[in-house]
Amino acid sequence: MEENAKVTRLPLIGEPAPAFKAITTQGDINFPADYKGSWVILFSHPADFTPVCTSEFMTFAKLEKEFNDMNCKLVGLSVDGLYSHIAWLRTIKEKINYKGMKDMEITFPLIEDITMDVSSKYGMIQPGESNTKAVRAVFVVDPKGIIRTILYYPLSLGRNFDELVRIVQGLKAADAFDVAMPADWRPGEEVIVPTAGSCGVAKERMESKDEDVTCHDWFFCTKKLDKEKVLEALKKK
Ligand code: BEZ
């Protein structure tokens, strides 16, 4: 590791997203204040004009409306400068035709972080992987500016976008219905009824006559949650 590499403590789930001001391809931003009231996916990529990142940006652009319809905005970042960002995004739009995606316009902001100030704050520079490039980080931030999910991928592996959509769906539905989501949950599937705080409540729940609730044991109860209700909740804040 280089001696002057900027490494700070990683922000954690449940903590306020570290604040910063930055220049982006869509103008200046003040994060997370400018995004109060919206969910945000703040993500980093290693470098402009690289193939995995290009495939990811095109996929983010394809899914942007789906995220926006869930009141979730996208904000990208790399340690490249603004003019590199602009040239790369223009090249993507004008020249790249990949997996049926073409003429893709990236209209969400892409932060320039030549100083690595923002990427360092978010633990995106991981020197074992690279001192000069951000890893593929994903921070899902809620409308109150709290970090709700963190993912880090290495340089060599593009992100799974089905999972990014599922994370926003799962967090919003968990909040809206006061439930938790089991492995591989998707809208329309059963959800977990939160663990009861006392044995009395647990017993009561085991004996529940609610036909929608199934208790596998005192600590593991599931219930149906209608897909339409979930999809309706996903449109709200
Ligand atoms: C890529 O996006 O293709 C990439 C970027 C940095 C290192 C390796 C691959």
- Report DSSP letters for 9-27, one per residue: PPP-TTSBPPPEEEEEBTE
Q: What is the average pLDDT value for the chain, to the nearest integer?
A: 93
| Confidence band for 204, pLDDT divided at 50, 70 and 90 | low
Q: Two tokens at 11?
A: 């922000």
| Confidence band for 2, pLDDT divided at 50, 70 and 90 | very low
Does the pLDDT value for residue 4 go beyond 60? no
**Catalytic one of 53, 72, 199, 215:** 53
Q: How far is residue 225's CA from residue 180's CA, in Å, rounded to a whole number?
A: 11
By most ligand atoms within 8 Å of CB, the mutation choice from 155, 157, 159 for ligand 1 is 155
- What per-residue confidence (pLDDT) applies to 208? 64
- Enumerate residues 6+ apart whose C-beta is below 8 A from 43: 60, 74, 75, 76, 77, 136, 137, 138, 139, 159
Q: How far is residue 190's CA from residue 195's CA, in Å, rounded to a whole number?
A: 15
| Confidence band for 128, pLDDT divided at 50, 70 and 90 | very high
What does the pLDDT look like over 7-16, one tens digit per residue? Answer: 467 899 999 9
| Confidence band for 110, pLDDT divided at 50, 70 and 90 | very high
Query: Could you confirm whether 215 is annotated as catalytic?
Result: no
Q: What is the identity of the amino acid at 10? A: L
Q: How far is residue 146's CA from residue 37's CA, in Å, rounded to a whole number?
A: 11
Q: Residue 213: in which H helix or E strand, if any?
A: strand 213-217
Q: How far is the CA of 50 from the centre of ligand 1 (A)?
A: 5
- What per-residue confidence (pLDDT) applies to 236? 87
Does residue 137 contact residue 151 with C-beta atoms inside 8 Å?
Answer: yes
Whether the full predicted model's pTM is greater than 0.85, yes or no, is yes
What does the pLDDT look like over 55-91, one tens digit per residue? Answer: 999 999 999 999 999 999 999 999 999 999 999 999 9
Mean pLDDT over 205-209 rounds to: 63
Does residue 96 contact residue 129 with C-beta atoms inside 8 Å?
Answer: no
- What per-residue confidence (pLDDT) applies to 1? 44
Phi, psi of 59 (to 5 degrees): -70, -40
- What per-residue confidence (pLDDT) applies to 206? 63
Nearest CA to ligand 1 atom 7: 155
Q: How far is residue 122's CA from residue 124's CA, in Å, rounded to a whole number?
A: 5
Domains of the chain, CATH where assigned: 20-159 (3.40.30.10), 171-234 (3.30.1020.10)
Q: Which atom of ligand 1 is nearest to the CA of 158?
A: 2
Beta-strand pair 39-44/136-141: antiparallel
What does the pLDDT look like over 94-104, one tens digit per residue? Answer: 999 999 999 99
- What per-residue confidence (pLDDT) applies to 45? 98
Give me the percent of the chain exceeding a pLDDT of 90: 87
Q: How far is the CA of 55 from the centre of ligand 1 (A)?
A: 10
- What per-residue confidence (pLDDT) applies to 209? 64
Give me the percent of the chain exceeding a pLDDT of 70: 90
Find the DSSP H helices in 27-116: 51-69, 82-95
Q: How far is the CA of 47 from the centre of ligand 1 (A)?
A: 7
Q: How far is the CA of 69 from the centre of ligand 1 (A)?
A: 30
| Confidence band for 205, pLDDT divided at 50, 70 and 90 | low
Q: How far is residue 40's CA from residue 49's CA, in Å, rounded to a whole number?
A: 24
CB of 155 closer than 6 A to ligand 1? yes
